[in-house]
Amino acid sequence: MQSSLAMYHLRPWLVWLVLGYWWGAHADPLLDFTMFNPPTTEQRKIIDPVVTWLVQSDPKSYCEKASPKDGYLVRPEGCVYWQVKSSSCTIVTTNDTTHSQLGHLFLSCMQAR
């Protein structure tokens, strides 16, 4: 006979589903699975950027203080700053990031906005 505790063994995804419903599910801004078309060459200010990726505990402060730069953008858990003349971008994230986050920052780099 199985232990009565065995009936409480739930799959992790089911636990998150139930807890999400119970507490009111909220969209995670770091996860974005929407389909998109990359910007055309004409829509890019930086055509073929050289990209550097840094991990910092406070990306926002890092990007604000970074120099030289032509501009920067801050997102949750990360930021990017760029130099159009040198065709370079620096993506800065915390240790916990997602592919989606990196993609958004990279797109902002190419569009320099």
Which pLDDT score is estimated for 113?
A: 87
Distance from the first to the final alpha carbon of the chain: 63
What pLDDT does residue 74 have?
A: 96
Distance separating alpha carbons of residues 7 and 79, to the nearest angstrom: 45
Max mean pLDDT range (4-13, 19-28, 81-90, 96-105): 81-90
pLDDT over 90 at 71, yes or no:
yes
Number of Cβ within 10 Å of residue 33's Cβ equals: 5
Global pTM reads: 0.70
Task: Name residue 100's amino acid.
Answer: S
Helix (H, G, I), strand (E, B) or coil at 98: coil
Task: Give the pLDDT confidence of 3-61 residue by residue, as tens digits.
Answer: 554 545 555 555 555 555 545 555 556 666 677 788 888 989 998 999 999 999 999 99
29 contacts 97 by C-beta, under 8 angstroms: no
Q: Which residue has the higher pLDDT, 102 or 1?
A: 102
